[in-house]
Chain A
Amino acid sequence: MRNVAIVGIGYTPVFVSKRRDVCIPEMISEAVENAFKNSGLTPADIDAVVFGNMHTFEGLNLPHLWSADFIASLGKPVMRIATGGTTGMSAFHAAYYHIASGLHDVVMVVTYEKHSEGDAQVGLMGIITPEIMAMLAAGIDVTGQKGMGAIGGGSAGGISYQATSYLHHSGAGIEHIDAIAAMERRNASKNPYAHLKDPEATAEKIAQTPLISWPIRFGHVCPTTDGATVCILASEEKAAKIADKAAWVWAVANCASDATTGNLIEGIITDPGEQMPATIAAKKAYERAGIQDPRKEIDYVEIYNGFAHQTLMFLERIGMCEVGEAHKLLEKGELEMSGSLPVNASGGVVSTNAIGTSALNRVTECALQLMGQAGEHQVEKEVHKALAHGWGGLMQYVTITILADKPKKL
């Protein structure tokens, strides 16, 4: 095992609804250029590239092929990773293993999504459409027990069951979802790379947005964003030469459940709020990082929250607090940038969601906090260890990355 560090980060200049001015590879190249500027590296320094996005969203198969000329990759190994919402972090993990294996020294992760070119909800429906269509064709009642919990459209339909479960088990109320959504929109207003920003956001304001499917309101849901994120990783020896400041990888882990989680399996409803993979992946990551008590040792957390309740729910699932405690921490202001457990100072996925980038942005935002380079959204407390969480697949796949401000003792 070798130590691996983040030595460069590049975002597109903006994360917005529609980048009408550029085509896909042009947009990606902006983030690549910024990563080179940020790290002081040149294309010649890069040994390999890992590329990730959710390709049905743009109707492009293996888009790294079209983008090859735009991402400084010609003549290099390029690996394409795709695991749904977690793609960005799965790509980061692949880059980590490129280096940890001893085969490469400097690896660039390139992720993007240009949602404006397709329809994300249609893309998401594509997960279950074949079943639904097949059932319709075969004359099976799709609204019955094999409806896959997706009736209601896209991920928002399925997610309301999860939010309901979370509220039931935690004792939190819909007002807490409003409050965490408001906090993240306020945080986003301090992040130049966030999409939905509202410095004046309050729980009351969010509560006035229309309900989609109880308890999910419009104000709880992520936008669809155009943007790209690039992250450059290096081995310990190279990192010392490249960067004054680096964020060090202490552990990566992931866990998959079954795609039918959240649905009826032989008459038993499995709970979409249980999220056992998050608990398992976090436990593995803590072990690998040598963390005994995450609540004491982790200073900062970035949660993948396509929907606002997930910030609270996943804090509980990954063991950063007890079940039923997250909304109380929120009430006390502990999750704010000034609090004792700051979460999603970036504004989270609920404020910015270019899906391919979303799980990688959780990692890069932790890195910025660790390096003290988060600018206006730098949290008040000192950050020595941070945890980034990714969530995706069909609501059943979780990735975890633990970073620190110094290399791990091997």
Chain B
Amino acid sequence: MSVQEETFLTPVVPLDFTYNYYIGQYLTRYFKGFKEKKILGSRCPGCSKVAVPPRKYCGVCNKVMEEMVELPQEGTLENFTVGHVTMEKGGRLSPAEKPYVLGLIKLDDKASLLLHKVEGVDPSQVKAGMKVKAVWKDQVEGDYWDLDHFEPA
């Protein structure tokens, strides 16, 4: 059985819903730390891993990570990618104005890797193993982008 070729109307239907997320107890503590330019994580009482940003559960140990610990502001670039595209809202790709670096940064041997922008270095010169340090906004407000980026230490 065959289906006849037809043309269809293809109207664009944006579904823009608004959501209000509660960030919960642990991320709230993270952003409180930002107000003092501190990077906080939560430590698992089982495996002593530190989650950055902090969260309630260590899924491996099924334990609540109540203890908050402060992490150093300097760390190692463990892994990175250079972006040549940006993804806009709606998942559309467009070429980036200039290449930019995203890095997974290890602040402590026990800490999870933190994904952040790495600036102040030519993307072609970035190497895994580089030492990087946190750069804060001058005015910190306890918000996502207080910790602005990392740069070579």
Mark A residues whose CB is within 8 Å of B: 19-26, 29, 43, 56, 58-59, 68-70, 72-74, 116-119, 122-123, 126, 129-130, 133-134, 137-138
Query: Looking at the complex, which of B31-39, B57-65, B71-79 is the stretch in contact with chain A?
Result: B57-65
Asked whether A72 lies within 8 Å of B13 as measured between CB atoms, the reply is: no
Q: A69 with B55: in contact, given A21-B25, A58-B19, A116-B22 (CB under 8 Å)?
A: yes
Closest to A129 in B: B15
Instruction: Answer whether A20 and B22 are a contact pair too, CB < 8 Å, given A59-B17, A137-B11.
Output: yes
- Whether B24 lies near A134 (C-beta < 8 A) is no
Residues of B within 8 A of A72 (CB): 59, 62
Q: Is B144 an interface residue (CB 8 A)?
A: no
Are the C-beta atoms of B9 and A134 separated by less than 8 Å? Answer: yes
Chain B residues with CB under 8 Å of A68's CB are 59
CB distance from B54 to the nearest CB of A (A): 12
Give the contacting residue for A70; candidates B12, B27, B59, B60; CB below 8 A: B59
From the candidates A56, A74, A126, name the one contacting B60 in the complex (CB within 8 A). A74
Quick one: which of B11, B13, B59 contacts A74, CB cutoff 8 A? Answer: B59
* Cβ 8 A contact of A56, one of B11, B17, B20, B22: B17
Contact B15 A126 (CB under 8 A): yes
- CB–CB B56/A134 < 8 A: no
A133-B11 contact given A21-B22, A56-B17, CB 8 Å threshold: yes
Contacts of A123 in B (CB 8 A): 17
Tell me if A's interface is mostly helix, strand, loop or mixed.
Answer: helix
Chain A residues with CB below 8 A from B22, complex form: 19-23, 116-117
Partner of B57, one of A25, A122, A126, A137: A25
Q: In the complex, A52→B149 CA distance in Å?
A: 37
Given contacts A70-B56, A130-B13, 10 further A-B contacts (CB under 8 A): A20-B22, A25-B24, A25-B56, A43-B62, A69-B55, A69-B58, A118-B19, A123-B17, A133-B13, A134-B13
Q: Is the CB of A119 within 8 A of B18?
A: yes
User: Are A22 and B24 interface neighbours, CB within 8 A?
Assistant: yes
Q: Which A residues lie within 8 Å of B19 (CB)?
A: 58-59, 117-118
Name, among A26, A117, A119, A134, the residue most crowded by chain B CB atoms within 10 Å (CB to CB). A26
A-B contact pairs, 10 of them (CB 8 A): A20-B22, A23-B24, A25-B24, A25-B55, A26-B56, A56-B17, A69-B58, A116-B20, A119-B18, A138-B9
With A25-B56, A70-B56 already in contact, the answer to whether A126 and B13 are too (CB < 8 A) is no
Check if B27 sits within 8 Å of A23, measured CB to CB. yes
**How far does the alpha carbon of A126 sit from the alpha carbon of B60 in the complex, in Å?**
37
Q: Which residues of B contact A126 (CB under 8 A)?
A: 15, 17
A159 to B20, CA, bound (A): 27
Q: Say how far B74's CB is from chain A's closest CB, in angstroms.
A: 28
Given A23-B21, A116-B20, A123-B17, A69 and B11 contact (CB-CB distance below 8 Å): no
B23 within 8 A of A: yes
Bound together, the chains give a CA A134 to CA B17 distance in angstroms of: 17
Closest chain-A Cβ to B118's Cβ sits at a distance in Å of 26
- What are the residues of chain A within 8 A of B9 when measuring CB–CB? 134, 137-138
Q: Could you tell me the distance between the alpha carbons of A74 and B59 in the complex, rounded to whole angstroms?
A: 6
In the bound complex, CA of A56 to CA of B62 (Å): 28
B residues less than 8 Å from A117 (CB atoms): 19-22
Residues of B within 8 Å of A29, CB to CB, are 56-57
Most-contacted residue by chain A among B13, B18, B20, B62 (CB, 10 A): B62
Pick from B13, B20, B24, B60: contact of A26, CB under 8 Å: B24
B25 touches A22 (CB 8 A): yes
Q: Which 9 A-B pairs have the closest CB atoms?
A: A69-B59, A23-B24, A137-B11, A133-B13, A59-B19, A74-B59, A43-B62, A118-B19, A70-B57
Residue of B13, B27, B55 touching A137 (CB-CB under 8 A): B13
